Structure 1
Amino acid sequence: MAQSGEVNEVVYDHRILRDWSNVNNTNGTMHLSKDMIFNDGHRLSITVYSILFVISTIGNSTVLYLLTKRRLRGPLRIDIMLMHLAIADLMVTLLLMPLEIAWAWTVQWRSTDLMCRLMSFFRVFGLYLSSFVMVCISLDRYYAILKPLQRSYNRGRIMLACAWLGSVICSIPQAFLFHLEEHPIVKGYFQCVTFHSFVSEFDNWLYQIATMCAMYAFPLIAFIYCYGAIYLEIYRKNQRVHKDVIAERFRRSNDDVLSRAKKRTLKMTISIVIVFIICWTPYYFICMWYSLDKTSVDKVNSLVRKALFIFASTNSCMNPLVYGLYNIRGRMNNNNNVSVNNRHTSLSNRLDSSNQLLQKPINTLPNNNGNVMAAAVAATTKLAHVVRLKTNGAAGDSQSPVAAAPLAAPLDINDDVSVSVVTTKCQEQTPKQPKTPIICLNCGDSIEVASVEKT
């Protein structure tokens, strides 16, 4: 008969231990340690991983579906990389999370040694792949923004191939370190562990440091370098633009240095990186603490360390949320741009229709207005020539023979052209001669046309 005793009451996960925990056998009663029975750590794993499994499966499947549809319309390198990131997160969701749930439910390992090694490999493969794909995304943004002329069709493929190959290489040691082992005292109790896999404690410490560097430190350095260089270059270009007076008109379009699409993609990728750092930093902080001072870390409740690892696994759920958030914003902005473009298109169509009417033969206008229109065009040309000569010859002269009068109310002809009637006074010797108004077309611009008195 086996039951829980008072041995290793602070231990909730056997993977924190360096070796098998002790058990007591008193009067035929086996007192198991707390890591060998169903405990609070197992309850926490089952509850949280079940929730994360549902959220991550729905989110990453949706993102993968949307990116696949977009790729069929026109593949972009950043979309392909985001697809691989969604695949990596799905591998974490479909392999690591169900494994943790089933393992917490059964407590001990109830499968073969081959499955122990295989699942240990896939348990970290998705985590490595997710980190390395984000490094590829950062490098892609680096080349796209800082070195846009150095385009290479195979660069993205090569980086993704290196990410997959590097994930396989970094995950292979797990298959050799984890193995199925039976408890030396409790017969029939098997566990998938790393006990007795390292020759010395230094080897164990070296492996933990190498894992931390490959999965966290190396990607973090790549993120800081790539995005730091990007923002430094953007800052320098903005400084040059602000000093250039000629570039004032370009700042009005909000596209000083980057296009709107590049800005949105850059913000999205940086948000994904920030989520990665927030999720994984606490866990690796305590791992670093454990490698430097094991005595003080042993005093920390093991539930804290398990909770931090679960929190790190939420990174796979957050990536599709970040992607969805920026795509919703992008669609809203695109809809606003479409409405603005429609207004511009409508105005352009109206101007085009006015120009087409001007290009028509004058005699073809209805209601016998051909002669009037011909006179209007001729008078407009002559008046503009006179005004230009006066402006160049005697600017500001109060004796100018042409004085602009206020624009009269517009009239409509054929519902396409706005017509204005304007009167002017010409300084003549005969002030009471009859005046004939000249009608001029307003072709989309604010051009005031005056009539000239008969001479």
Structure 2
Amino acid sequence: MSADWSILKLSSLSPPTSSLAPPPPNTSQNPPLSDWEAPSFTRAAQVRVGATSVLFLFAACSNLALLASVWRGRGRRLASHLRPLMLSLALADLMMTFVVMPLDAAWNMTVQWYGGDALCKLLCFLKLFAMHASAFILVVISLDRQHAILHPLDALSAHCRNRRMLLLAWTLSLLLASPQLLVFRSIRVEGVDFVQCATHGSFRARWQETLYNMFHFTSLFVVPLLVMSCCYSRILLHIHQQHLRNKAGESYLRRSGTDVIPKARMKTLKMTVVIVLSFVVCWTPYYLLGIWYWFQPDMLRVTPEYIHHALFVFGNLNTCCDPVIYGFYTPSFRADLAACCHRTRSGAHVSPRSPDRLATGHGGLQCDPAPNNQAGV
């Protein structure tokens, strides 16, 4: 595949029905036309488009609701260093929703590319940018949780530190996606009326294409996975050591006699662990199939087409999981959804809760009034 994990098989210049297929060994040569058959909108691709459309509707509604809750609703009561993280996560998921999903569905339906050269470059750039941003923001969240657990008294600098890390994450996503503007272009197959958006001819040798793919595989999946695994391993080790000290009568950093770490901070930690696990579970099969293809391109002939489609749709499911997980662990988000549904049913305007009611309402991930309590999240 060509670095964004949903590019066509260039040997036949077909659409992204095999979403993780990198170009075969003849990518730098003219596509063979002797045995070439025009691709079609297969039944498996139709099911993929239908499933992607359902995921698009759910992801769009849920992530927009999450964004509204954190930006304007009860989610504003999040600790100041957590709020930018959840806003960035919602924005990254919305980019995946409004760029990756519609592009994939439309491309499968049209079979060939009708958007022209400029749109080809732009959409492939935005697609990789969204995927990098989604992964890197999870890394930032993991680093924030590690610092909150290992250095709980250093909460005053958390807000500035998280903003710097988020700026770095978005900037790196932008830079790493920029090569897409150079390698992708609209290509017309000679002798037939068929146009496709592809990397065909951008690399002089097969190894260059493979190196490009492996670099983005490392930045999209391997590096984020290693960093997140390291963060949560250190957190688990720290919690285990705290338990041992507790048994030895050296308990500290506790709000009550039974807490090893504050409950609000532990609740946030559990939420972020589940969010990271959903990313790993949803995308690992997709990336593994891509690696298999790189080293054995003939695997596409021995694996059913619906498997490739199913793994891509399963990967996109991650975009729907984040707001669901956030809502499960955050009563304020559920309250905002309930208020919205109530307004929709009644048709009457319901004024938002006053700040006093918000401060004494839902617990969990909300800010505590005192600065010391806020630092515990």
- Fold match (TM-score > 0.5): yes
Scaled to the shorter chain, the TM-score interval is: 0.7 to 0.9
Runs of 4+ in 1 over 6 A off after TM superposition: 329-332, 334-338
Partner of 1:43: 46
Q: Matches of 2:362 and 2:185 in 1, distance apart? A: 58
Deviation at 1:305, TM superposition (A): 2.2
2:94 counterpart of 1:80:
no
Partner of 1:154: 160
Q: Matches of 2:125 and 2:314 in 1, distance apart? A: 21
Q: 1:116 to 1:12 in 2, by over 3 A?
A: closer
Partner of 1:291: 294
Deviation at 1:270, TM superposition (A): 0.2
Q: Matches of 1:14 and 1:113 in 2, distance apart? A: 22
Partner of 1:140: 144
Counterpart selection for 1:206 from 204, 208, 211: 211
Partner of 2:310: 307
Partner of 2:234: 229
Partner of 2:188: 182
Q: 1:273 to 1:164 in 2, by over 3 A?
A: same
Q: Matches of 2:333 and 2:17 in 1, distance apart? A: 44
Deviation at 1:252, TM superposition (A): 6.4
Deviation at 1:291, TM superposition (A): 2.4
Percent identity for Structure 1 against Structure 2: 31
Q: 1:44 to 1:264 in 2, by over 3 A?
A: same
Partner of 1:13: 17
Q: Matches of 1:11 and 1:72 in 2, distance apart? A: 43
Q: Matches of 1:302 and 1:204 in 2, distance apart? A: 24
Partner of 1:167: 173
Q: Matches of 1:295 and 1:329 in 2, distance apart? A: 51
Deviation at 1:83, TM superposition (A): 0.9
* 8 Å contact kept, 1:116–1:178: yes
Partner of 1:259: 262
Q: 1:22 to 1:33 in 2, by over 3 A?
A: farther
SS at 2:186's partner residue? strand
Partner of 1:197: 202
* 8 Å contact kept, 1:12–1:40: no
Task: List runs of 5+ in structure 1 lacking aligned partners.
Answer: 1-6, 25-30, 339-455
* 8 Å contact kept, 1:12–1:41: no
Deviation at 1:42, TM superposition (A): 2.8
2:65 counterpart of 1:62:
yes
The structure with the larger Rg is 1
Task: List runs of 5+ in structure 2 lacking aligned partners.
Answer: 1-10, 336-359, 365-377
- 1:374-416 C-alpha deviation (Å, 9 max, x unpaired): xxxxxxxxxxxxxxxxxxxxxxxxxxxxxxxxxxxxxxxxxxx
Q: 1:184 to 1:336 in 2, by over 3 A?
A: closer
- Alignment RMSD: 3.0
Deviation at 1:37, TM superposition (A): 2.0
Q: 1:295 to 1:102 in 2, by over 3 A?
A: closer
2:135 counterpart of 1:128:
no
SS at 1:154's partner residue? helix
Deviation at 1:304, TM superposition (A): 1.8
Deviation at 1:306, TM superposition (A): 2.9
Greater RCO between the two (CA within 8 Å, min separation 6)?
Answer: 2
Q: 1:264 to 1:168 in 2, by over 3 A?
A: same
Q: Matches of 2:16 and 2:125 in 1, distance apart? A: 23
* 8 Å contact kept, 2:17–2:108: no
Aligned length: 319
